[in-house]
Structure formats: structure tokens, C-alpha cells
Structure 1
Amino acid sequence: MEETSGPLGVTEKAMRIIAAICLAAMAAMTGADVFMRGAFNMPIFGCEEIVSILGVIAVGFALPYTHYQKSHIGVEILVRRLPQRTRNVVKLATNIATLALIAVITWRMFLYAGTLAESGEVSMNLELPEYMVVYVLSFGFFVYSICLVMDIVKFFKVKGD
């Protein structure tokens, strides 16, 4: 794993911990809901909404960690057979294309969250403000885009040395 240092490293680590807590909370909520339904025929009100929100946070906050772990899906069987120089070019092109896509997604999600805030959109059962979840997710994508920028900068620093 490529450990990052400084503010980005601290942010990534905090996001990783929050994502893990969200996953554990999802499992606990789901288990409690199943138990309550089976034992007492009383489901936990709003459990589906809470689990969905926790899932969104877990996915958004796990993106930087997944990037540094190289745990994302790749076409390794093809790329592995290429010469090292070509693999480096493919990696750079992939990072640039991913950055472009993630930057657009981040920007549009941030704008969408603002639209949701203006409209007062809330969740169906618990009436939680949906814009907050979208802001949190856009933050996760924003940090992921910074990680991509850092990788691109590092690529050119290594090539320049």
C-alpha cells in the first residue's frame, strides 16, 4: 500500500475508519431489524433508510483507501503482459481519465446537493434531509480526486528525476 502523509493521509485514514464503522453499523442495524421482525414482529422503523445512508457513506469514504490499496477493478490480464513503459503510460492515461470523470461527478453531485437543499427534499420515512448525504458523498469523491491528482503529479516527478 502506498501510504500518504500530511493532511491527505490523515483525511484518508479518518475516512477509512468512518467507512468501517458504517459497515459495522449496517450489519448491526440489519441484524437487529431481522431479530426484531422475527422475535417480536416489530421491524425497526426507518432501518432501510439508515442502512442505505450508511452504505452511501461507506462507499464514498472508502474510495481513497481503495485507490491506494489498488483494490479497484482493472484489466490486469492484458496490462500485465505489456512492457513496463507502456504499463506506465496506460496507468497515467487511466488516472487522467478517471480524474476527469470523478471531477465531473463531484462537481455535479455538489450542485445536486444544493438543489436538494433548496427544494427541502427529505427521506420518505425518517424525513432526513437528503442533501446532507449527497454532500457527504461528494466530499468522498472530492478526496478521491485529490488522490488521483497526487498520483499524476507523482508520476511526472518520478519521470523528471
Structure 2
Amino acid sequence: MEEAKRPLHITEKIMRVIAAACLVGMAAMTGADVFLRGAFNTPIFGCEEIVAILGVVAVGFALPYAHYQKSHIGVEILVRRLPKRVRDGVGLATNLATLALVSIITWRMFLYAGTLAESGEVSMNLELPEYYVVYVLSFGFFVYALCLLADVVKFFTKRGA
């Protein structure tokens, strides 16, 4: 199990670094755009599109990290008071439900990216192909689904051991 989890962990780390770089890029682009608008009355052409794309990549690539850090929203006040066995069951049910939902989202997003590629949809100002962004986001959701699946497998292997 550890051999299978290692590539997933490395992928999550790389995605975390990319997400952080996207956040830095968003801040830098926005700051530069504001500065150029104020100082020289010259905005950066397409800045809003670039910042939006970086935001999508940051969110999609941060999902696996947020899952491993358990930094997603949960009803901790209620769950903490439950016995450990019940907490584990709630965690399993939550992971299974989230896995099902994220898997469907990944699948539909991947199909949607293909539809965008066929139609030739591009962004408004820079005319960047939008399907690339949707493929990248679907990859982020796919890795998140793999992380959830790894946790479900870990739950059952831990109980059997």
C-alpha cells in the first residue's frame, strides 16, 4: 500500500507547489495591473483572464493537499463527541460519498473539456483555448478522487490488520 501511496503523495506535493505558484502569480499580476493602471493609465491586457485561469488551477491543484491536511469544512463539534468507532464510520461514509461525487464531477468535466475542444471555444480577450483549463481542473479533481480512494482502501486494510 505504501508503494502505491508514494507516487500519489509526490503528485500531491507537486500540485501543492503549482497551486502556491499560481497564488503568487495571481497576486503579482493583480499588483502589477493596479500599479500600471494607477501610475501610467495602462492596464495589462488580459490580466483578468490570466488571474481567473491561475485561480482555477490553484483551487483544483490544492484539493488533494486540503484533503490530506483535513482543512475542509466538517461538523467537528458533533463528530468529536461520538465514540471512535462511530467517528470512523462517519469518516468512511463521508469519504465514500465525496469519492462518488468527485468521480462524477471529474468524468463530466473531462467530457465537457472535450466538447469545448471540439467547438473551439476560446477566452474573450486573449483567445486562449478554454478546454486546456478544464482539462487541468479535471486532473486536479482526479487526483483528489485518488486521494479519497486511498483513504477508503486504508480504512479497510487497517481494519483487517
Query: What TM-score does the superposition give when structure 2 sets the normalisation length?
Result: 0.97
Please name the residue that 2:138 is paired with. Answer: 138
Please name the residue that 2:105 is paired with. Answer: 105
Please name the residue that 2:123 is paired with. Answer: 123
1:63 aligns with 2:57: no
1:79 Cα deviation after fit: 0.5
Q: Which runs of 5+ in 2 are unaligned?
A: none
Please name the residue that 1:84 is paired with. Answer: 84
The code of the aligned residue for 2:29 comes to M
- Assess if the C-alpha contact under 8 Å between 2:5 and 2:150 holds in 1: no
1:148 aligns with 2:157: no
Partner SS state of residue 122, structure 2: coil
1:48 Cα deviation after fit: 0.2
CA distance in 2, matches of 1:11, 1:85: 31
CA distance in 1, matches of 2:133, 2:59: 12
1:7 Cα deviation after fit: 1.1
* Number of matched pairs: 158
CA distance in 2, matches of 1:134, 1:6: 26
Please name the residue that 1:13 is paired with. Answer: 13
CA distance in 2, matches of 1:17, 1:5: 19
1:10 Cα deviation after fit: 1.1
The code of the aligned residue for 1:151 comes to D
The code of the aligned residue for 2:114 comes to G
CA distance in 2, matches of 1:30, 1:86: 47
1:9 Cα deviation after fit: 1.2
Q: Which runs of 5+ in 1 are unaligned?
A: none
- Residue identity over aligned pairs, in percent, reads 78
Once the two structures are superposed, residues 107-146 of structure 1 have per-residue CA deviations (whole angstroms, 9 ceiling, x without a partner) of 0000000000000000000000000000000000000000
Please name the residue that 1:40 is paired with. Answer: 40
CA distance in 1, matches of 2:77, 2:24: 33
Please name the residue that 1:22 is paired with. Answer: 22
- Deviating beyond 4 angstroms after TM superposition, the runs of 4 or more aligned structure 1 residues are none
